Amino acid sequence: MAMAVGSSDDDDDVISAINTTPLVDVMLVLLIIFLITIPVVTTSIPVQLPKERVEVRETKPENIVISVDNAGNIFWYDSRVPDVENLVGRLKKVATMKPQPEVHIRGDKDGKYTGVGKILYACQRAGVTKVAFITEPPPLGG
């Protein structure tokens, strides 16, 4: 009576198929991350920015974005600021940061300049030294 102990030569064949399951898993995770982060990048206050050609500025996450709509309402990022004194109080906290972040003003092109002037005056009262205006470039050829 004989008994076969050990493996045969057929078990030593190399598997030549590539397992793509981990690759698909990574790609699905990246897709979900992109779908979640894209709405965060866009702003939700609808203002029509003036068209102007300027140098491209890099937006850093610590920059403060203040918007003024056509009616003269002031917004700190997406939340409405009730009055200028509240804005000055918020800007004083920002002015004490080291390094001081920039304040970016988004003004509606059809709005009155008094809205933007209030923000500039509030920045001056709070001691903010870095103020920039956000515009959109005009279409090419026009």
Give domain status of residue 77, yes or no: yes
pLDDT the model gives residue 20: 85
Give domain status of residue 141, yes or no: no
pLDDT the model gives residue 79: 92
**Residue-number span of the structural domain to which 123 is assigned:** 64-133
3-state helix, strand, coil in the chain (%, to 5): 35, 15, 50
pLDDT the model gives residue 125: 92
Q: How many other C-beta atoms lie within 10 A of the C-beta of residue 92?
A: 14
Decide: 107 and 75 in contact? Cβ < 8 Å: no
Classified as helix, coil or strand, 62 is coil
Look up the CATH number of the domain holding residue 116.
3.30.420.270
Give the DSSP letter of residue 98: S
pLDDT the model gives residue 53: 67
Give domain status of residue 101, yes or no: yes
Looking at the structure of the chain, the number of domains it has is 1
Mean pLDDT, 10 residues at a time, the chain of 142 residues: 58 71 90 80 72 63 86 90 92 89 89 89 92 82 58
Task: Report cis status (omega within 30 of 0) of the bond before 99.
Answer: yes
Give domain status of residue 119, yes or no: yes
Residue 37 sits at φ, ψ, to 5 deg, of -85, -25
